[in-house]
Amino acid sequence: IFSHKERNYFLDSADLEPASGMHRYLYLLHAIAWAPKDKTEIGQIRVEYADGTSSDHDVVNKRDVANWWEPGTLVNGVPAWTGENNKSGVGLYLSKFALKGKKIKKIWATR
């Protein structure tokens, strides 16, 4: 869970060390809460490759991910898990980000 200006007690960033090998895509299983109404950047992923290069990927509301209540299909996100709570349908989105097909040193995500 990443923090927000109104809920700043969660993480601001996270570092991941992926499994070895060459990677062409990064898949995220994710959702957001208290989503903004418009299409706006809600986070960023930086991929650092073993050869010293990097690539940046914006995570955008209503393109890659959306509110976990009432999930629906997006341009780069489909509900991969759905369920129900006492008030609504809920779900997590699966998003796909193209990588350079190189060995990854580290993945860094921020809100």
- Amino acid symbol at 76: N
pLDDT (tens digit, 9 = 90+) per residue, 74-95? Answer: 999 999 999 999 999 999 999 9
Is residue 111 very low, low, confident or very high in pLDDT (cuts 50, 70, 90)? confident
d(CA 88, CA 78): 18
Is residue 105 very low, low, confident or very high in pLDDT (cuts 50, 70, 90)? very high
The percent of residues above 70 in pLDDT, for the chain, comes to 99
d(CA 62, CA 75): 8
Sign of CA dihedral 36, 1, 78, 23: positive
Is residue 9 very low, low, confident or very high in pLDDT (cuts 50, 70, 90)? confident
The whole-number pLDDT of residue 82 equals 97
